[in-house]
Amino acid sequence: MKKLIAEFLGTGWLVLGGCGSAVLAANFPGSGAENSLGLGFLGVSFAFGLTVVTMAYAIGHISGCHLNPAVSIGLWMGGRFDSKELPGYIVAQVLGGLFGAGILYLIASGTGNFDASAGFASNGYGDLSPGKYNMTAALVTEVVMTFFFLIVILGSTHGKAPSGFAGLAIGLALVLIHLISIPVTNTSVNPARSTSQAIFAGGAYLGQLWLFWVAPIVGAALAGIVYKFLSPNEE
């Protein structure tokens, strides 16, 4: 139960910190030029990475700090996670994401011009993609980005990896992933994060949610298989 609570809180923090930066601060208008105080893509990318870094050192020793169903599945495929714990982790992560999104919705709706259906930092392709990228581009992006995210996770947490640096490596990998893929899909690589925002945005965002479950899980599973082949032994 402590592990599940940790995953719930950690995923809530990831959504609140990462998606919150996108919703509240990415395009915040300054007193002069448009968006002069906004974080932009760079700021949002670092916000997501920072949530993972901070939680890795806060709850990593409790639950492993997965914060992501794809990560849990990738670790399971790589032989690093017990299948008995997998369903509970996924449920806790999805509920944690909804918790974070709910808090964000309450904050964001405190201004008169807020409209969750306009996006709410949701993921999408086609007309819902920031750069209007099609479904194929979104699918490839999410599979590949999640694959390499899990390669970094599996490598940095390996028994032979330098100790104490996994959280930093994983957080920086997530920053890089966002820098690459925000224009394509608004970056998911995390079904819980995608679900939490799509539920509040509704409409077409819910209709496209399937891709942001399928692609990250496929990418993570492939990474688990590949890394288990590359480095099967922890010692």
In a domain, 160, yes or no: yes
In a domain, 147, yes or no: yes
Joined tokens for residue 12: 């809530």
Please tell me whether residue 62 adopts helix, strand or coil conformation: helix
DSSP assignment letter at 78: T
- Give one DSSP letter per residue of 107-153, joined into a string: HHTTSTT--GGG-TT---SGGGSTT---HHHHHHHHHHHHHHHHHHH
Query: Do 44 and 178 touch, CB atoms closer than 8 A?
Result: yes
- Domain total in the chain: 1
Query: Do 77 and 224 touch, CB atoms closer than 8 A?
Result: yes
Question: One digit per residue, pLDDT tens: the chain, 235 residues?
Answer: 999 999 999 999 999 999 999 999 887 765 455 556 778 899 999 999 999 999 999 999 999 899 999 999 999 999 899 999 999 999 999 999 999 999 999 999 998 788 898 899 999 999 999 999 999 999 999 999 999 999 999 999 987 877 788 899 999 999 999 999 999 999 999 999 999 999 999 999 999 999 999 999 999 999 999 999 988 776 5
In a domain, 235, yes or no: no
Query: What CATH number is given to the structural domain containing 35?
Result: 1.20.1080.10
Per-residue pLDDT, 33: 54
Q: How far apart are CA 108 and CA 115, in angstroms?
A: 9
Domain residue limits at 188: 2-230
In a domain, 180, yes or no: yes
